Amino acid sequence: MQGLAGKPTARRGFRGPGYTRCSPRPEVWPGPNGRSPSAQGDSVGTGEWISTSIPYLTPRAKGQTDAWAAETAAQGRRGSQRILHAGEAPAPQEVSERLGIGENDMIIIRRRLMLLDGRPCELTDTYYPADIARDTRLAETAKIPGGAVTYLAGLGYIAARAREDISARMPHHHERESLCASDDEPVLQVVRTTLDRDNKPIQVDIMIMPANRRRLQYDIRIG
């Protein structure tokens, strides 16, 4: 699935808590890596970025930076993130169904804005069952050395399997503003459910990204 980037267009600046002012978009603007399954870890040409989800599901070694910063640095880019919110809240229906809990049961949410070379490129909401993440660093807005997956593994919750549901839609107003997207620019929504060795859901990620800045590729082994 692939879109074509348009000509550079100026956008109205937007400021709010945790957001970045939008600036004119270059004709080629790849999004962050690893947010979807793919065949290889590499960039293709100058406008597509293809990589694997595995680094984002695997705990990092002691002293290593988070997977997003490491992968972009390997490609000569700068990947960073802003944690816009963290705390306890009632679970939305879409999340409660995937976590196997009751609707409006309490969960811990971490809401992040992903940046590539300082530009917004993805919104990511991560949800954890409250009995896993309550009173931990996952419920705080401070960055976690090595990333949340590494920290979660340190608590004894290690990913063994993941499911991803992908859909396309028009963005909500706050998504469009946050991602510096134009009014007619659709987004891809990737919903990832991560399960442990006992097939228990331990994490749900909802990732929103501009569709014309992303390519999804699958390598399916048969037999």
Specify the pLDDT at position 88: 97
91-112 per-position pLDDT tens digit: 999 999 999 999 889 999 999 9
Mean pLDDT over all residues of the chain?
79
Cβ neighbours of residue 160 closer than 8 Å, sequence gap 6 or more:
195, 196, 197, 199
| φ and ψ at residue 45, rounded to 5 degrees | 60, -135
What's the confidence (pLDDT) of residue 189?
A: 95
Report the C-alpha gap between 185 and 180 in whole angstroms. Answer: 10
Q: Is 48 exposed, middle or buried (0-12, 13-18, 19+ CB in 10 A)?
A: middle
At which residue do the structure tokens 């976590």 appear?
A: 99
Q: Is 212 helix (H, G, I), strand (E, B) or coil?
A: helix
Q: Using CA atoms, how far apart are residues 88 and 102, in angstroms rounded to an integer?
A: 15
Q: Residue 80 pLDDT > 80, yes or no?
A: yes
pLDDT tens digits, residue range 108-148? Answer: 999 999 998 999 999 999 999 999 999 999 999 999 988 99
- Distance between alpha carbon 124 and the CA centroid of its chain, in Å? 4
